[in-house]
């Protein structure tokens, strides 16, 4: 079920009324309701893949209990390995099997041996990369003694399948979200109102920013040979805002929806395009994934504490794995490789923690140095996004080559209307960059001003919202 669909418009208030007015007497009833509606939410796409979520939940619930019971370290490792193998096995079969099989066949073809690649005719289950990582965080944290395994099977199954963030995150840690299923939840009007604000802002980013940009981006990237250099540059800029509006918009709706039911999810985006270097960008972009890889891959590999060779190895490991997490295509590995190259000099020079505060904190205006830093960071990010969006590395290289031609200073031949909406987005988020989201206007005391802002954004969505597009991260 899509957040920007008519079905969800009926689904959300229905679940809200049942949750707070029918099932409010017992926590166990509320958790059971969340579990049932989460399965309905996911089954709306394809009910057959519910079996994967249920099986993954059973495995990790059992492994968590067995890890605690095991007296010997080897047995604890065995149960952890079972959890990891099952979850990674799902990803391997559904997401990466065909990629490895076809890549192997291509490699042998270059050596003079030809054979048909064995491929599976399967659909990639929506959200599989998100909920498998979420369940793995549970068993890993139980193994590390950071979390006690739960015996409440309903709470655990609800944690795995929690519908607001089930299919595209944030990837919640069990240490944060699972304990919230144990505590009695009371309706908080202030939190609910702010949740609705965040939902509205997320819908603006998705329907107005991402979907309008998508119409042009898809047209240009699919027919890139037909456009001049300036048009290609603008399409790349539009994709940067498409993927931001699409993914951070989903996260805003997910976080806001969770707050309606008394849950607090982690912030997944913190205005990343205001970053002054790549290290800061990755502290602000898809935070739930970058911190997951930091805690469960980068630090266990040694982090940045070792020698130069170890730092280089670990940096490339985390970015290449992050790229591969996004999809079974060499373009994602190239995207990860580029970001590793960007990040490495900062790490080796010990400047990766230089910009940890909010840019121009406490100020309205920005200085020239910060403008330069943000511009360079955005250009580097934009260059990498071309590989992320392209169908192949060859197509990405052709796209970049086509930018640097004599038509670079020519007038673009594509619609540039989305720049109007991008300006609104950038302006609002610049003013709100010290808040949790772009529409956190609780400090405005005048109700008339607040409601005028809500009405304005709602009207923009109705009047200028583009044809509905699928959320980009559903494919990951």
Tokens representing 345 are 């000099």
Helix, coil or strand: residue 152: coil
Residue 127 three-state SS = coil
Q: What are the tokens at 20?
A: 């707070």
3 state SS of 304? coil
As a three-state string, the secondary structure of 393-427 is HHHHHHHHHHHCCHHHHCCCCCCCCHHHHHHHHHH
Q: List, as one string, the DSSP characters of 226-290.
A: GS-HHHHHHHHHHHHHHHHHHHHHHHHHHHHHHHHTT--PPP----GGG-SSHHHHHHHSSHHHH
Q: Which two tokens stand for residue 402?
A: 């086509």
Nearest in space to 265 (alpha carbons), one of 170, 349, 357: 170
350 in Cβ contact with 201 (< 8 Å): no
Pairwise CA distance, residues 92 & 319, whole Å: 19
Q: Where are the alpha helices (DSSP H) in 329-417?
A: 330-348, 368-389, 393-403
* Residue 219 neighbours by CB distance under 10 Å: 16
- 3-state class of 135 per DSSP? helix
Per-residue burial over 434-468, b if 16 or more Cβ lie within 10 Å, else e, is ebebbbebeeeeeeeebeebeeebeeebeebbbee
Distance separating alpha carbons of residues 389 and 331, to the nearest angstrom: 8
- Residues assigned a catalytic role: 326
**Contacts of 438 by beta carbon, 8 Å cutoff, 6+ apart:** 201, 205, 252, 425, 428, 429, 432
Any idea how long the chain is?
476
Asked whether the beta carbons of 325 and 476 are under 8 A apart, the reply is yes
Q: Two tokens at 74?
A: 């080897």
- For residue 25, CA distances in Å to 177, 250, 417 come to 21, 31, 51
| Inter-residue contact 257 to 195 (CB < 8 Å) | yes
Query: CA-to-CA distance for 272 and 286, rounded, in angstroms?
Result: 9
């Amino acid at each position: 079920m899509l957040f920007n669909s008519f079905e969800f418009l009926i689904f959300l208030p229905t679940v809200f009324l049942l949750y707070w007015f029918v099932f409010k007497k017992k926590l166990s009833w509320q958790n059971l309701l969340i579990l049932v509606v989460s399965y309905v939410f996911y089954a709306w796409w394809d009910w057959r893949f519910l079996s994967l979520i249920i099986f993954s939940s059973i495995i990790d619930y059992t492994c968590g209990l067995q890890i605690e019971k095991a007296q010997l370290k080897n047995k604890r490792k065995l149960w952890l390995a079972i959890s990891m193998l099952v979850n990674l096995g799902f990803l391997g079969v559904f997401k990466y099997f065909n990629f490895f099989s076809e890549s192997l066949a291509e490699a042998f073809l270059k050596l003079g041996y030809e054979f048909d690649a064995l491929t599976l005719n399967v659909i990639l289950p929506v959200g599989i990369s998100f909920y498998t990582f979420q369940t793995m965080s549970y068993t890993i944290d139980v193994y590390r003694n950071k979390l006690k395994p739960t015996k409440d099977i309903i709470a655990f199954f609800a944690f795995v399948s929690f519908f607001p963030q089930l299919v595209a995150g944030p990837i919640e840690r069990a240490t944060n979200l699972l304990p919230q299923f144990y505590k009695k939840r009371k309706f908080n009007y202030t939190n609910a109102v702010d949740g609705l604000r965040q939902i509205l802002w997320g819908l603006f980013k998705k329907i107005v920013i991402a979907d309008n940009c998508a119409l042009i981006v898809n047209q240009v990237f699919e027919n890139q040979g037909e456009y001049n250099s300036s048009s290609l540059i603008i399409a790349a800029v539009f994709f940067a805002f498409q993927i931001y509006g699409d993914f951070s918009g989903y996260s805003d709706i997910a976080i806001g929806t969770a707050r309606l039911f008394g849950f607090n999810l982690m912030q997944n985006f913190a205005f990343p395009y205001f970053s002054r270097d790549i290290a800061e960008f990755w502290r602000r972009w898809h935070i739930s994934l970058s911190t997951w890889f930091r805690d469960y891959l980068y630090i266990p590999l040694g982090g940045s504490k070792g020698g130069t060779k170890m730092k280089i190895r670990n940096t490339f490991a985390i970015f290449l794995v992050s790229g591969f997490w996004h999809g079974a295509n060499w373009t994602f590995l190239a995207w990860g490789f580029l970001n590793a190259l960007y990040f490495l000099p900062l790490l080796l020079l010990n400047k990766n923690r230089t910009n940890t505060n909010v840019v121009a904190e406490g100020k309205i205006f920005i200085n020239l140095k910060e403008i330069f830093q943000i511009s360079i960071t955005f250009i580097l990010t934009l260059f990498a996004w071309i590989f992320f969006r392209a169908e192949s590395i060859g197509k990405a290289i052709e796209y970049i080559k086509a930018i640097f031609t004599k038509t670079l200073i020519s007038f673009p031949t594509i619609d540039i209307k989305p720049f109007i909406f991008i300006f609104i987005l950038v302006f609002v988020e610049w003013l709100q960059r010290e808040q949790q989201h772009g529409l956190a206007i609780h400090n405005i005391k005048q109700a008339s001003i607040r409601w005028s802002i809500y009405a304005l954004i709602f009207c923009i969505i109705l009047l200028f919202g583009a044809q509905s597009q699928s959320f980009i991260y559903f494919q990951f």
